[in-house]
Amino acid sequence: SAVFRLAQRQGYDDGLGDRIIGTFANCAGGTTPWGTVLSAEENFQSQVPEDVYADGSAMAPSARPFTCQAKRLYGLGNPFGLAGNKYGWMVEIDPANPGDPGTKHTALGRFRHEAVAVRARAGEPLHVYSGCDRRGGHLYRFLSDGIVSNPSDPANSRLFHSGTLYGAVFNSDGTGSWVALTANTPVNPLPAPVKVPHSDRTRAGAESLDSPAATAAYRQRYSTLGDLYAGEGEAQLGALLIDAHLAANAAGITPTARPEDTVLDPATGDLLVTFTSGMPGNDGTPDPAIFRGPQGQSPWNEGWIMRLSEQGENSFRWQMVATGGEPADGGLGFANPDNLAVDPTGALWMVTDIGTGSQNNDKQNGGVFGNNSCWVIPTSGSQAGEAFCFATGPMECELTGLALTPQADQLFLAVQHPGERHGRREQNAEEARSFQLKLTNGEPLEQLRWVPLGSNWPTGGLPKPGVVVIHRRNGQALLS
C-alpha cells in the first residue's frame, strides 16, 4: 500500500491514496480454513491498463480506451478513472460479516489470479498457492512471516499482510525450486525470447529480449530485481509485487501453460495444479521441456494436471498425473482441464475450459474439443489413472464452480454463458460438421455430427446461467 500513498509518482494518480473502488474480473478463488472466501481478480487487463512504471504506479486510464468490439465492452475502467495497479489482486471476504468491504492482499502479488489454495498448519507459516492464467504465466507460492497458531482462527487473515512471494522453477527431471521475488533476487531471464520490465525505467510495461546478446546486455545493466524498481523498503517491494509477472520473467521463473486451479490433496498434502493449454501466445510460451504431450509433442493444446510435492523449504518434485488429448495419442480423452476437486477416496474431479470458439469445430483430432464437461479420475483401484466423463454441459457454455459435499454425495456445477456464440437456439437449428477422429489403435475415423447452434438451457427459452446439483436418488456417494 506504500505505492498507493506516494506523494510523487511516475504514472497516474487517481487521488484516492490507498482506497480502492471495488473489485471486478473475479474468477475462481477459494476458501480459508477460518471460513473466509478468497476471490481472484483475473482478466482485469481488458478493462484497465495492466502495465506499470518502475515505482509501481499505473498508466493513465487512456491507455485502455473504452471500446466495443464484437459485442464486447473493453476499457470500462476508463470513464471512471480507475487506476490499473489496484486490480489483479486476491480479495478476502468474510461472508459472516455483511459489513466487510473485502481486503485486497497485496503481499500475494498482482497478476491474473485464477484460483488459490491455502495451507494453514499449526506451527508453520501460512502457505498460499496461486497461478497466473496467461500463456507463459507462472505458478506462485506465498509464505507468511508469521506462524499459524490455530488454523481455524480468523486472526490468521493478518498473516496475509507480510511474507515472501515465490515463483516456481521446474526442471525437466521432475524436480523444482521456489525462487523468492525480492529486491536482492538476481536478474536471470530464461533464453530469448522473453518479456521483461522495460530497460528504460522511465517507461511503463515490457520489452522483449529476442536474442542472447539482448539478454546479456539486460543482465549487465540490471543485476537484481531491486535494480529494476524504484524506492526503498516497502515501497520498492510493493512496486515489484505490483509488477509480479514481469518481475518473475526477469528472475527466470518457469513460463507455464495457463495455470488455472490450485487444490491441496487433503490425504497427501500435495498441490494439484491444472494447466489448461500449452499453446504459445502474445503473452509468452510455456517451457517445452516441461509442457509436452504424451509422446513428447510440443506445443500441446490439450492440457495437464500436475501433482507437486514439497520436499523441503524451497524444493519440490512434480509429475503430470493426467494429460489431455486423444487416447490414441496417449491422452485421457479430455481437453483443457480447469477447476479441480478431490473426493474422500482421493479421486480427482475436473471440469474442462474449452473456449467457445473451439467447441465442436471441424478440426483434426476434434473429438476431445466437444462441449465442456465434467470428468472423474480415480487414483486407486483397477481404474486408477483412467478418466471418465461424468457430465456434459449445455451448448456453448463452460462448467465452473466444481464443488463436492464432504461425503461426495452431491456435486455442484455452475453453468456459465450457455449459448455464448449463437444465443438462443431457434427452430432446432443445427449444422453438420465433419470430425477427423482416431480409434484407440490410431486408425483415422471421420465422424459426421449434427451440432446444435445456440442453447435453450435451462427452461427451453432464452439461455441463462445457473447452478445445478447432481446426486444419486438413494443418497449414496456419487461413486459408490
Selection from 113, 198, 94 nearest residue 156 by Cα: 94
Selection from 296, 185, 181, 297 nearest residue 244 by Cα: 181
- What is the distance between the alpha carbons of residues 112 and 194, in angstroms, rounded to a whole number? 18
Kindly state the DSSP code that residue 474 receives in the 8-state scheme. T
3-state secondary structure of 140: strand
The predicted structure's pLDDT at residue 366 = 66
3-state secondary structure of 321: strand
The predicted structure's pLDDT at residue 362 = 61
pLDDT in tens, the chain (480 residues): 889 999 999 999 999 999 999 999 999 999 999 999 999 999 999 999 999 999 999 999 999 999 999 888 999 999 999 999 999 999 999 999 999 999 999 999 999 999 999 999 999 999 999 999 999 999 999 999 999 999 999 999 999 999 999 999 999 999 999 999 999 999 999 998 999 999 999 999 999 999 999 999 999 999 999 999 999 999 999 999 999 999 999 999 999 999 999 999 999 999 999 999 999 999 999 999 999 999 999 999 999 999 999 998 999 999 999 999 999 999 999 999 999 999 999 999 999 999 988 887 766 556 788 899 999 999 999 999 999 999 999 999 999 999 999 999 999 999 999 999 999 999 999 999 888 888 888 898 888 889 999 999 999 999 999 999 999 999 999 998
219: part of which helix (H) or strand (E)?
helix 212-221
Asked whether the beta carbons of 125 and 143 are under 8 A apart, the reply is yes
The predicted structure's pLDDT at residue 335 = 96
Pairing of β 388-392 and β 163-170: unpaired
Bin 346: left if φ > 0, else alpha if -120 < ψ < 50, else beta: left
Measure CA 72 to chain center: 22
- What is the distance between the alpha carbons of residues 84 and 385, in angstroms, rounded to a whole number? 43
Whether this model's pTM surpasses 0.95: yes
Asked whether the beta carbons of 304 and 337 are under 8 A apart, the reply is yes
| Strand positions, DSSP E, 23-150 | 30-31, 37-40, 67-69, 72-74, 90-93, 103-104, 117-119, 125-131, 139-147
Selection from 371, 477, 471, 468 nearest residue 420 by Cα: 371
The predicted structure's pLDDT at residue 447 = 87
Bin 209: left if φ > 0, else alpha if -120 < ψ < 50, else beta: beta
The predicted structure's pLDDT at residue 167 = 99
Measure CA 390 to chain center: 23
Q: Which three cell numbers stand for residue 356?
A: 467457445
The predicted structure's pLDDT at residue 363 = 62
Q: Which three cell numbers stand for residue 83?
A: 487506476
Q: Which three cell numbers stand for residue 340?
A: 479441480
Greatest CA separation for the chain: 68
- What is the distance between the alpha carbons of residues 162 and 474, in angstroms, rounded to a whole number? 49
Single-letter residue type at 156? N
Asked whether the beta carbons of 343 and 349 are under 8 A apart, the reply is yes
